[in-house]
Structure 1
Amino acid sequence: MGRAALGATALGTATVAYAAGFERTHWKLRQATLPVLAEGARPLRVLHISDLHMLPGQKSKQRWVSELADLKPDLIVNTGDNLAHKGAVPAVLRGLGPLLDLPGVFVFGSNDYYAPRPKNPVRYLIKSKRRVHGIPLPWRDLRAALVERGWHDLTHVRRLLTVEGQTIAVAGVDDPHLHRDRYSDIAGRPDRSATLRLGITHSPEPRVLDAFAADGYDLVMAGHTHGGQLRVPGYGAIVTNCELDRSRARGASRWGAHMWLHVSAGLGTSPYAPVRFACPPEASLLTLVPRPTGTNTPENAKHGARFGAGADVS
């Protein structure tokens, strides 16, 4: 019994050391091809960034993110939770760096508005409607800097953007996790002549996804889940921290008959829960291509696109 207990303790210690010391800084680029564009459209490359949870001293994360500009995406989509500290705005801007020279859109998440707080880790595994906010964060300063560089704040806004000569109808909502979303502000069918009808939200709450789908959007992009953050091989995410089912905690899937959903597992963690297991931090490069002629059914998409090409579906 003593040896078994000692072995279990050693294994647990090694697992925590791996999750906290290695995997949470082992950033990866996930790629997927999604058939969401109008017939005859040229492919678009969209870089999805989410959940940076940046601290001022995270220099290696800032360097890795800035190097994503070498991918030369056509559009950047940032789905929030950039901040984890009241002094992190300059660090976020250093990380985004050259990406800010490219077309971009964004919405904010709960940890752009409020700093994370210490809490019992067990609460992460139990659904609770109780919200305890940390100190307010300087999201207005971050917003001003992003808008000044030409990115579009889509918080309860609908816009038509021209990207690579193609029209994209975009719309977004404030963070549903904090019940700040007001979909009624953007409700209605987007421009049907657009090459792409794109919705963005921080938390992928089903009520919001249903609204986007009912209005005829082709693709919705979200973050918040951290991909589950702790995943069990063969089982997947333990929780999603929202009402989304576990099977969609990261990657691409269909939502309803015609809409695609892409959920980023994100690039960071709360400083009070700095671990990831079987779920490395990630950014995603999505190659958007035309829908199959005459149909929107999922059977016409490659199976790998269901979770994102190369994704671990465990």
Structure 2
Amino acid sequence: MRKKIAVPLGVAAVGLAGLGYAAGVEVNFYRLRRFELPVLEPGSDPIRILQVSDIHMVPGQRRKQKWLRSLAELEPDLVVNTGDNLSHPDAVGPVLDALEPLLRVPGVFVFGSNDYYQATKLNPAKYLRRGDLSHAPRKKREQNDWQLLEAGLAKHGWLQLNNARGALELGGRRFAFVGLDDPHVKRDRYELVAGGPDIDAEITLGVTHAPYLRALDAFAADGIPVILAGHTHGGQLCIPGYGALVTNCDLDTDRVKGLNTHTAPNERTSYLHVSAGCGTSRFAPVRFACPPEASLLTLVPRH
């Protein structure tokens, strides 16, 4: 009888220890990932892009704020924010404070659903579903003060790219952007930004929050050479040696985070970088085998 009792107690103890690690340790184990993308013309000087995503800020997260502020020490040429900055209606101020040193650097941003709508309690079972999970809100949801967040980012010169195109001069070099509003809540309207790369720019980057296949297909088919996205949290709860179980969209789990490629139906191929992000919903503050992150992407000349 004692042996029968000991087995489930042992399993429970391991489970509790894993939950404690996921909630109390790894969720604060911030890291920087580095990638090189050979996409510039031969002879071009490299450009360093810092991508931050899925901050999901809650007031009082001082460790996260301090880490975000420290990223300015990397001295990037450009910052790309791929959305879901908020996980609490009172977090606009803390987000802007955390990003303040980076706001001195040229930047662009798109929003995710959690920037628009207040976070709600989650049904974990829905994340086990695969396929296209995108849908407009089916009922009225309380909104965050996303206009205040947008104004706070834009007043420093960051470009808002929600279904918009834009360009920045970086050291005398023109870099262009094609952005989509969040496909996860069906706010994406690629027809408003279609037209391919900016012919006067050194390179054109595609920016979106959620890497749904329809968005990736549109960017790649249009000849956009680099696509940056977030949303997936890298799977958030992963199995060591196996990886992510879900992506929270219709992207395959093999590309849940990091640098990959995407080929559109017309056989055009783009680089795709998906950030695992540095936060979680305040109602699911755990990470396992998937530390919070930001990425430093160095664009270099083609070989």
Aligned residue runs from structure 1 range 176-215, under 5 A: 176-215=183-222
Are 1:243 and 2:243 matched, yes or no?
A: no
Q: Distance in 1 between matches of 2:216 and 2:260?
A: 12
**Aligned-pair distance for 1:134?**
4.4
SS in 2 for 1:18: helix
Hey, which bits of structure 1, 4+ residues long, moved more than 6 A?
Answer: none
TM-score of the two chains, using structure 1 as the length reference: 0.90
SS in 1 for 2:167: strand
Partner of residue 260 from structure 1, selected from 271, 282, 286: 271
Q: RMSD value over aligned CA atoms?
A: 1.4
Structure 1 gaps, min length 5? 293-314
Partner of residue 288 from structure 2, selected from 277, 290, 293: 277
Q: Residue 38 of structure 1 contacts residue 196 of structure 1 at CA under 8 Å; is this kept in 2?
A: no
Partner of residue 16 from structure 1, selected from 15, 19, 25: 19
Q: Distance in 2 between matches of 1:200 and 1:154?
A: 8
Q: Distance in 2 between matches of 1:211 and 1:171?
A: 11
Aligned residue runs from structure 1 range 1-314, under 5 A: 1-127=4-130, 131=137, 134-256=141-263, 257-292=268-303
Moved more, 238-247 or 119-128: 119-128
**Aligned-pair distance for 1:38?**
2.4
Count of matched residue pairs: 292
The AA in structure 2 aligned to 1:17 is G
Q: In structure 2, what is the equivalent of residue 296 of structure 1?
A: none
Q: Distance in 2 between matches of 1:103 and 1:119?
A: 35
**Aligned-pair distance for 1:291?**
1.6
| Alpha-carbon displacement from aligned partner over 1:40-71 (angstroms, at most 9, x marks no partner) | 22100000000000011111101100010000
Moved more, 39-48 or 106-115: 39-48
TM-score of the two chains, using structure 2 as the length reference: 0.93
SS in 1 for 2:43: coil
Q: Distance in 1 between matches of 2:40 and 2:233?
A: 27
Q: Distance in 1 between matches of 2:122 and 2:165?
A: 37
The AA in structure 2 aligned to 1:235 is Y
Q: How many percent identity over aligned positions? A: 54
SS in 2 for 1:34: strand
The AA in structure 2 aligned to 1:238 is L
Q: Distance in 2 between matches of 1:290 and 1:106?
A: 25
Q: Residue 134 of structure 2 contacts residue 183 of structure 2 at CA under 8 Å; is this kept in 1?
A: no
SS in 2 for 1:271: coil
